[in-house]
Amino acid sequence: MRGSDLLGAPVVSRSGAALGRVLDVRLVQDGPLLGAFAAMRVEGLVVGHRRTSARLGYDRVEAHGPWLVATVVRWLARDNRYLPWEQASLEGHRVVSGLDELLRVPFIT
């Protein structure tokens, strides 16, 4: 599987309601050892409707950047949500969510 198979994939609930698309993939570096480092393991998916909203990450990292830009981008990203990987399953090129209500996007600290 490639990263690009996940990014942009439509996310639906079990009842088939559209929840958005995969905008980003949360990775945690605690997978199996590859060389000197632990592998980056998929932890969850950032899901939303506006591709541009996730690009700058202002919805997930501490505020930095010009106030106006950060405000506008946060506003665009206001509907972005999070789907933990254990609640997600791949069916074809769609992601089916075990949750009907997605979670808030956890900040990266």
Partner 1 sequence: MTGRVRDLALHLLDRQVVDTEGKAVGNVDDVELVVPEDGSPPYVVAILTGPQALARRLGGLLGQWLGFWSHALSRPDSSEPGRIPMELVTDIDTQITVARTRQELGVHRNEDRARQYLILRIPGARHARQ
Partner 2 sequence: MKGLLKVFLGVLTAIGGFVDIGDLVANAVVGARFGLSLAWVLVAGVVGICLFADMSGRVAAVTGRGTFDLVRERLGPRAGLANLVASTFVTFLTLAAEIGGVALAFELATSVSYLLFVPLVAFLVWFVIWRMPFEKMEQAFGLAGLCLLAFAVALWQLGPDWGELFRQASHPSVPDGEGHPTYWFYAISLFGAAMTPYEVFFFSSGAVEEGWTRKDLKTERLNVYVGFPLGGVLSLAIAATSALVLLPQGIEVDHLDQVALPTVLALGKIGLAVLIVGFVAATFGAALETALSTGYSLAQYLGWQWGKRTAPKDAARFHAVVLVAVVLGAMLVLTTLDPVKVTEYSLVFSAIALPLTYFPILVVANDPEYMAESANGRVVNALATGYLVLLTVVALAAIPLMIATKAGQ
Measured between its terminal Cα atoms, the distance across the chain in Å is 28
List Cα–Cα distances, 38 to 22, 30, 32, 41, 46, in angstroms.
24, 5, 5, 9, 22
Task: Rule CB under 8 A: choose which of 19, 46, 76, 83 binds partner 1.
Answer: 46
Write down the least CB distance from residue 15 to partner 2, Å. 32
| Interacting residues toward partner 2 by CB under 8 A | 52, 55-56, 64-69
66 binds, among partner 1, partner 2, none (CB under 5 to 8 A by kind): partner 2
CB 47 within 8 A of CB 20: yes
- Interface ranges with partner 1 (CB under 8 A): 1-4, 6-8, 23-32, 34-43, 46, 54-55, 57, 60-61, 85-86, 108-109
